[in-house]
Amino acid sequence: MSIAANLIRPVVICGPSGTGKSTLLKKLFVEFPDRFGFSVSHTTRAPRPGEENGTSYHFVTREQFLDLVKADGFIEHAEFSGNMYGTSVKAVEDVKKGGKMCILDIDTQGVKLIKKNHPYLNPLYVFISPPSLSSLKTRLTGRGTESEQSMSARLAAAVGELDYAKSGAFDVVVVNDDLERAYNVLKQVIIDGKTEAGDKLPHFEDK
């Protein structure tokens, strides 16, 4: 591995649903299109027309998939409508070997799994925090994607995620209050490596 590749730590982005992770990452990919790479996931589902093995997905049999599970080769994996999907450790390392920074947008469960099973990946852990729980609710409502039931499930999950962030599990916190301000902080952290530019975790009086 080259020295440069060795310096490109993967970045874990985590935060409650609706906190603005996708919005912030999209801005970053638009401004710095060449800096980032995406890890190619594994799946047991059949390729669709036009999908290439190794680019869209690593298409594998259920047996191959389960072998990799047994060998602890996945950061996280799950089954959706009868097919298995997973992010392998190798897929993340391949991005780094290609000279790009791998961004992993995962939940706190995934963060715990990396810390427990794959600490050698040594990612920078970044938590995107809402300014308050009420703002999170407003954003989820504004996005118009949630039913009342999934809204309360997401808000309940958010409380657990904020508690985990409070335990000091993240290297950096970015509070997504004003989008441009938060984006500038994230840019300093990820592009300039200034982890000290991060914010303090809010108190969440309204929790």
Residues that bind ligand ATP (CB under 6 A): 15, 17-23, 139, 142-143, 176, 178-179, 182
Smallest distance, ligand ATP to C-beta of residue 14, A: 9
Residue (68 or 136) nearer to ligand ATP, CB: 136
Residue (26 or 62) nearer to ligand ATP, CB: 26
d(CA 101, CA 93): 10
Smallest distance, ligand ATP to C-beta of residue 36, A: 16
SS3 104: strand
Pure H helices in 32-147: 62-70, 89-97, 108-117, 133-143
Residue (68 or 198) nearer to ligand ATP, CB: 198
What kind and span of H or E run contains 182?
helix 179-190
SS3 117: helix
d(CA 12, CA 111): 8
Smallest distance, ligand ATP to C-beta of residue 61, A: 30
Q: What is the DSSP letter of 173?
A: E
Smallest distance, ligand ATP to C-beta of residue 130, A: 9
Residue (19 or 44) nearer to ligand ATP, CB: 19
